[in-house]
Amino acid sequence: GAGVSQSPSNKVTEKGKDVELRCDPISGHTALYWYRQRLGQGLEFLIYFQGNSAPDKSGLPSDRFSAERTGESVSTLTIQRTQQEDSAVYLCASSLWGRETQYFGPGTRLLVL
């Protein structure tokens, strides 16, 4: 079946612009996660959705970052007024409710010039 998909695969933007990153989870997966992978580093947790509520937003690095989810479907991560330190690969993952295994998408590579 179809895996987690993300779009765009690559995004180049100018400092100060807003960007939206999209994640389509595996059908039926109620849990959705966003992570960030900066160059040469491991993945950092950003936010977790259960359905369309976000019980854990502890990883969002600043108020420039926000995310929403429509039902148990698509999620959008928005970064406002992008900074160069936002350059990273943004990864989305999904899982079945109550299950521990997360399935990752291919990521969106964001470059802020």
Interacting residue ranges for other proteins, rule: CB under 8 A: 4, 31, 33, 35, 41-45, 48, 50, 56, 59, 91, 93, 100-107
| Coil, strand or helix at 27 | coil
The CB-of-54 to other proteins minimum distance in angstroms stands at 11
State which residue, 73 or 103, has the beta carbon closest to other proteins: 103
Is the CB of 12 or the CB of 17 nearer to other proteins? 12
Nearest of 91, 77, 92, 88 to residue 111 by alpha carbon: 88
Nearest to 106 by CA among 88, 87, 92: 92
To the nearest whole angstrom, how small is the minimum distance from the Cβ of residue 12 to other proteins? 17
Pairing outcome for strands 10-13 and 108-112: parallel
